[in-house]
Structure 1
């Protein structure tokens, strides 16, 4: 069985490199580029994991996470340029399962996904 991952990241280059890395590791990967698009995909599909950026257009990642937790327990790894400990703690308390800061190492992200 292939695990299904949704990447919600507005930066096309970062989204593409994550898709390629995870696809090559054997995962079924989909992308969303806005918080709104990501939530729509989550509501209409089933995922085993979400990789979620925080600074997203239309609906921020923390809003996506807050809304997601009202109807899903899907694991979430936040990937964000925000590296303040207080922000990490806030997002973990909101329901994130892990937090990776940008710039990130692809092997580290892959290890956290696995």
Structure 2
């Protein structure tokens, strides 16, 4: 069973993602700010992180950078920011995927499965 960390300050979005993952048989930990998010991420007990960019106390970008210093865990950005430059910058910083809000839950699930599969086989998408 895969364990997913959701770092998303919007309670409705966080809950929606958590319910979807739980219904698919995943273990889920939800946090709502960047400070708690980085503390959880650094435990390295997760198989994948869903990460918002605009978070209270610590930005998603800072979390991404800190996690990349210690781990290659798949990180999927889920953000309302739709600018191509933002997407490119975050992918170059180490994000494995980028999904813009609003999103389709089926697409999110497919991207999670793809990233977990690639992580398991050691393949990377850059």
Q: TM-score, normalised by structure 2?
A: 0.88
Counterpart position of 1:61: 60
Alignment pair present for 1:32 and 2:26: no
Per-residue CA distance 1:37-72 (angstroms, 9 max, x = gap): 011011224110000000000000001001111111
- Aligned-pair Cα RMSD in Å: 0.7
After TM superposition, the structure 1 = structure 2 runs for residues 71-110 of structure 1, keeping only pairs within 5 Å, are: 71-110=70-109
In the alignment of these two chains, the number of paired residues is 113
d(CA) in 2 for partners of 1:87, 1:59: 17
Alignment of 1:14-33 (within 5 A): 14-33=13-32
**Counterparts of 1:33 and 1:66, CA distance in 2:** 18
Greater CA drift, 61-70 or 40-49: 40-49
Q: Secondary structure at the match of 1:44?
A: coil
Unaligned runs of 5+ in 1: none
Give 1:52's aligned residue. 51
**Structure 2: distance between partners of 1:79 and 1:59:** 16
Unaligned runs of 5+ in 2: 114-126
Cα distance in 1 for partners of 2:50, 2:44 equals 15
TM-score, normalised via structure 1 length: 0.97
